[in-house]
Structure 1
Amino acid sequence: MTRKGFWIVGGLALSVIAAGQVSGQQSVFSMKPYLAKEAVPDSLKLDPPPPANGSAEEARDKAAQKAAVKLQGTPRFALAARDADLTSPQATSAFSCAAGVAIGPVTTPKIDALLRRTMGSFGLASAPTKQKYMRKRPFVVNGKPTCTPTQEGMLRTNGSYTSGHSGIGWGMSLVLAEIFPDRTAELVARGRAFGDSRRICNVHWLSDVEQGQVVASAVFARLQSVPEFQADLAAAREEAKAVAGRQAPASCDAEAAALALK
């Protein structure tokens, strides 16, 4: 498989990263990943097959999606659309409230760069599972809108199981917990909600989201043995000390209210 093809198979998360340009920065796609393609954990060794037709697991997925559709038009649906952003200058700011400081390319450039450089590996790891099963996405099955209508054409041709976006959000939360250890609970909770945004967006089933997080956990463990990642993580920790005490955005109350909607 070509390098381009491998990224596209990895899901919309990777397609968007590849195409997107971060203002004033390199494209995430052009950033050298910490893990070479062959070093990324194989999702097929981690993922069971997606829920079988008529199984209790499939019924659970359908029930969770029925609940998600009820949130369309609410602040939680709007937050899901925001969480779909992986390329703009505001992409990493999704974790600002959980971290307790404003995260971004201007306010925390080292932390921002570290997160963006890990995105490819966290999302790409789901590629083998996606390619094998090519599971249909919820909006294709239920005919309901998504929170990202302009991406639906691409999503229709890409496997739903497992979720690359969910893996990216979960992975970023684990990285940030290493940088802001006192905010571990808040960050991991936000990483879980970031993944659940894909269910609420009507583009992933619950099991897609959950397995994306499992795969990302394996990637995070693998990153621990990469010296360059560890060096950048140490630099990010120093930056975190420098910004300690700065307030997170004023929008945190609105985010908390949105996250309370289930």
Structure 2
Amino acid sequence: MRRATALAACALLGGCAAASGGAGDGREPATGYLSSTTLDALAANAAPPPLEDPAQARFDAVLPGSDRWWLAIVHAELRPPKAAQHFDCALNTRLAATPRPALTRLMNRLLIDVGGLGERVARQGYRPRPISAVAGLEPCQRTTEAMRRGSSWPATGAVAGAAYGELFAALAPNRATEARATGREIGVSRVVCRMNWDADVAAGQEMGRGLYAQAVADPAFAVDLDAARTEVAEALAEGLTNAGCAAERRALRPGED
């Protein structure tokens, strides 16, 4: 990912805990998988932003300092290779134990597409973020003024989470249910973090699934997917697990606050 492209995507996503990052193999892709025409068509099919309804948010259900709050902080990192670790517990492995360049490249290119789609959809309607619309509401992550002023519509972090969920479901079909659940929770974390409204996240998740469905039609995607599938199989064979999975399970227990 070119640095300028990465910075623009991170600002739009309202995530990405730091400004740097790369593909991990020294060959950063400058483009995603989808053409401008395809991204335009996906954006044209997006519904307009819903009317603002603060009551729909779960800001009082998950309190700062709770286990779920801390998980939302972790989920704010959407860039690979770190973002791949969100799926460690779903796959029962440790993806960051060694470099996975094909997986990182695949996730990077999807993230570029997510940013492109989010930018197009955001032009169609502005909706203030919860942290801007609700007095005294603070996010779970550090933000810039540009991020605070950014549109909550669409919840591009939820787009990324859903696309990643579909990706890891394809990489580990026997853990597809768990992978998709993790992708959904990444989207939910944007509400917990007070960066997006519930309806924006739900719509973003639908967009993410649609984006992934288009990406799989690209022959280059199939090549990268095969290479990443080999890397994930190698990770599973290593027999390592993430020590943070107990904390993640605790954070996701029903009624956690």
TM-score category (smaller protein): 0.7 to 0.9
Q: In 1, distance between residues paired with 2:15 and 2:252? A: 27
Q: In 2, distance between residues paired with 1:249 and 1:105? A: 9
Deviates more, 1:82-91 or 1:175-184: 82-91
SS of 1:124's partner is helix
CA contact (8 A) 1:43 1:126 kept: no
Cα 1:192/1:16, change in 2 over 3 Å: closer
The equivalences for 1:17-166 within 5 A come to 19-22=19-22, 31-40=30-39, 42-52=41-51, 58=53, 62-68=55-61, 70-87=62-79, 89-104=81-96, 106-143=98-135, 144-148=137-141, 150-166=142-158
Offset, 1:99: 1.6
Is there any run of 5+ residues in structure 1 with no aligned partner, and where? Answer: none
Q: In 2, distance between residues paired with 1:23 and 1:215? A: 24
Cα 1:112/1:221, change in 2 over 3 Å: same
Cα 1:192/1:207, change in 2 over 3 Å: same
1:150-194 C-alpha deviation (Å, 9 max, x unpaired): 314122221111111111111011011111000001000010000
Q: In the alignment, residue 168 of structure 1 is paired with which amino acid?
A: A
Cα 1:93/1:193, change in 2 over 3 Å: same
Q: In 1, distance between residues paired with 2:27 and 2:131? A: 29
1:183-239 C-alpha deviation (Å, 9 max, x unpaired): 001000010000000000001001111111111111111112100100111112222
CA contact (8 A) 1:140 1:156 kept: yes
More helix by share: 1
Q: In 1, distance between residues paired with 2:85 and 2:59? A: 29
Q: In the alignment, residue 51 of structure 2 is paired with which amino acid?
A: A
Q: In 2, distance between residues paired with 1:134 and 1:156? A: 13
Offset, 1:117: 2.1
Query: Quick one: which of 242, 247, 254 aligns to 2:247?
Result: 254
Cα 1:168/1:13, change in 2 over 3 Å: same
TM-score, with structure 1 as normaliser:
0.83
Residue 181 of structure 1 pairs with residue 173 of structure 2? yes
Cα 1:226/1:44, change in 2 over 3 Å: closer
Q: How many residues align?
A: 249
Cα 1:110/1:39, change in 2 over 3 Å: same
SS of 1:193's partner is helix
TM-score, with structure 2 as normaliser:
0.85
Q: In 2, distance between residues paired with 1:250 and 1:41? A: 42
